[in-house]
Amino acid sequence: MKEDRLFFLALLPFGAIVVAVFIVFVSTLLYNSLPIFIHEGLMVYTSSTWRPVENNPEAEVYGLLAPMIGTLEVSFLAIIISLPPGLSLAIMIEEYLPTGLKSLMETIIEVMAGLPTVLYGMWASLFFADYLKSDLMIPLHEILWFIPIFGCMPESPYTVFTAGVILGIMIMPYMVGLILDGIRQIPKKIREACYSLGMTKYETVRILLRLMRPVIIASVLLSLGRAAGETIAVSLTIGNTYNIPECLFTPGYTISSLIADQFGNSGFYVYMASALYAGGLFLLLLGVITSSTGLYLMRRWKTSV
Amino acid sequence: MNPAIMIEDLNLWIKNRQILHNISLRAPAYKITVIIGPSGSGKSTLLRTINRLIELTEGVRYTGMIRVLGKDIMDWDVYELRRTAVYVAQTPNPFPHMTIYENVAIGPVLHDIVRDKADLDRIVRWALEKAMLWDEVKGRLDEKPGVLSGGQQQRLCIARALALKPQILLLDEPTANIDPENTHRIEEVLKRLRDEMTIVLVTHNHDQAMRLADYLVVIRDGHIESSVKPGD
């Protein structure tokens, strides 16, 4: 039909724009990262020296290993902190709460997911971090001092641990949403099969959880991608100190907090902006891997149930 | 002999709409009672009320009395009731993430019916043989049920129900979406099970009802129209 073809042609530019923006975005990252790769090679990802030198480009050294490790540490910590309560909350909402309470809880979760991240950062930085230090970090160190990641006494409230906890709180609503979406994709007939075999609610939930394992893994991956890129809240709570954090109770950096913190200074140096672009490339790669794997698992699961 | 299921003056509403009106019937033990009626007549609702599965539907309330094996259904532990009177749905609903073996074994494992693995193997084989599925799946018990045809999946669901060793089997149009060959097999399964348990079957297929029924209950618009013994 002529009308259909015209309508399709009218829509085409909008789809093309999205693809074009993505291509330009990736190309820009790659192009602007090139100088640091030419200057340092892959050392930019394997070294943890950060040495900006004014008016002497040859002496500039930028290694991203420390913030890369910081990014992974904070993100994994956030997942460990958000997964058990997130999963429990999703099960409680879907399987146990009456309709009224269910919609109230979902509204609260949606509001939490939509809050500007700077609010979480500010709340954590001005209020929560002190309690976290005195009531959790110090006791954890005193009890589990023999485990290296808890082996140092927290001196400041702004640490990798603080950033991980606040990030965990922030991504939990997102994770709950993904898991709820998964639970709701389970056909009614499966739940009915459980009850018709005389299973209790607890036994039914166990069966559904086993069925949902790929969704849970996908939710973790998608949340990990989101956590890795979070900037403001992490920047306000991690302490922004350039070192490889072997212990969770020391300050650190993530790639995103490094970019936020150093971007203003990058104009004074020849290679710093390029190094920050290379950090962006790392985040992009991490995001693409986690998101595409998560989405693939989610889609495959949806067609299998 | 006492009936396995006795229903007296059952009235049922879903969200204030009355679905069943003054239903009274008896399903004799070790017989096949067939409930027949057109779509929307309330026959599935009636079947799901017997083991209280209907309570999963929002906005349900009912009055009247239902006795299963002589005991009021409200006096039963609801989960024990559902294990005693097991329901098999119209659409096959095997657990897609479990193997064929696990699908049959899940009931006995959860409800501690078995002593050890050998005992479990015996029950799984027994249930699959009773459902006339053993010969078709014995070489691929570790595969997922997705590899089976619709009819085979339905027989797997019957085997899964049988593995619980129920005293009553409630079947909701189990051959509705199945080819004639599998329909014939399922009917054979039910005829063989007749001597071992009480069966209540819902169908809208008149010929099937006449082939299987020891007792025939005709339901229309939520009312029982007649209750007869075929051949009388």
B131 to chain A, any CB pair closer than 8 A? The answer is no
Share of chain B above pLDDT 70, in %: 99
- For chain B, what percent of residues have pLDDT higher than 90? 79
B227 pairs with which residues across the strands? B217
To probe the interface with B, which of A185, A186, A195, A197 has the most B CB atoms within 10 Å?
Answer: A197
Structural domains for chain B: 3-228 (3.40.50.300)
The Cα-based distances of A122 to A64, A231, B33 in angstroms read 26, 13, 69
Quick one: pLDDT at residue B1?
61
CB distance A198–B97 less than 8 Å?
no
Interface membership of A100 toward B (CB under 8 Å): no
Task: Using CB atoms, pick whichever of A196, A203, A207 lies closest to residue B87.
Answer: A196
Would you call B13 exposed, middle or buried from its count of C-beta atoms within 10 A (0-12, 13-18, 19+)?
middle
CB A238 within 8 A of CB A54: no
Here the tokens at position A105 are 């809880």
Q: How confident is the model at residue B220 (pLDDT cuts 50, 70, 90)?
A: very high
**Residue B95 pLDDT greater than 90, yes or no:** yes
Per-residue confidence in pLDDT tens, chain A, 305 aa: 788 889 989 999 998 999 999 999 999 999 999 999 999 999 999 999 999 998 899 999 999 999 999 999 999 999 999 999 999 999 999 989 988 899 999 999 999 999 999 999 999 999 999 999 999 999 999 999 999 999 999 999 999 999 999 999 999 999 999 999 989 989 899 999 999 999 999 999 999 999 999 999 999 999 999 899 888 999 999 999 998 888 999 999 999 999 999 999 999 999 999 999 999 999 999 999 999 999 999 888 888 77
pLDDT of B87: 96
Residue that is written with structure tokens 């913030």 in the block: A67
Question: Which candidate, A220, A216, A219, A189, places its Cα nearest to that of A204?
Answer: A189
Q: Which residues of B touch A205 (CB under 8 A)?
A: none
Name the helix (H) or strand (E) containing A213: helix A213-229
CA distance B72 to chain A (A): 17
Which of B51, B80, B95 has its CB closest to that of A193?
A: B95
CA atoms of B188 and B175, how far apart (whole Å) = 12
Neighbours of A187 (CB within 10 A): 12
pLDDT score of A22: 93
Helix (H, G, I), strand (E, B) or coil at A167: helix
Q: What is the pLDDT of residues A6-59, one digit of tens each?
A: 998 999 999 899 999 999 999 999 999 999 999 999 999 999 999 999 889 999
Chain B CB contacts of A196 under 8 Å are 51, 53, 82, 86-89, 161
Q: Please indicate whether, in this complex, the C-beta atoms of B95 and A211 are within 8 angstroms of each other.
A: yes
Q: Which two tokens stand for residue A209?
A: 């959880």
- Determine contact: A210 vs chain B, CB below 8 A: yes
Residue B231 scores a pLDDT above 90: no
Residue A149: partners with Cβ closer than 8 Å, 6 or more residues away: A246, A247, A248
Which residue of chain A has the CA closest to B98?
Answer: A211
Residue B228, pLDDT > 90, answer no
A197 neighbourhood in chain B, CB within 8 Å: 82-83, 86, 106-107, 110, 160-161, 164
Chain A nearest C-alpha distance from B232 (Å): 34
Residue B177 has pLDDT above 80, yes or no: no
Q: Which fold has domain A61-304?
A: MetI-like fold (1.10.3720)
Residue in chain B nearest A209 by alpha carbon: B97
Give backbone dihedrals phi and psi of B10, rounded to 5 degrees, phi first: -80, 125
A60 to chain B, minimum CA–CA distance in Å?
Answer: 55
- Average pLDDT for residues B1-21, to the nearest whole number? 92
Number of cross-chain residue pairs from A and B with Cβ atoms under 8 Å apart: 63
Over the stretch B24-42, which tens digit does the pLDDT of each residue have? Answer: 999 999 999 999 999 889 9
Q: Check residue A65 and give its pLDDT.
A: 95
CA B93 to chain A, closest CA, distance in angstroms equals: 6
**At B103, is the pLDDT very low, low, confident or very high (cuts 50, 70, 90)?**
very high
Mark yes or no for CB contact A196/B89 under 8 Å: yes
Compute the nearest-CA separation of A167 from chain B (Å): 33
Q: Is A211 on the interface with B (CB under 8 A)?
A: yes
Task: Provide the pLDDT for residue B232.
Answer: 62
Global confidence as pTM: 0.84
**Stretch B139-163: mean pLDDT:** 94
- ipTM of the complex model: 0.92
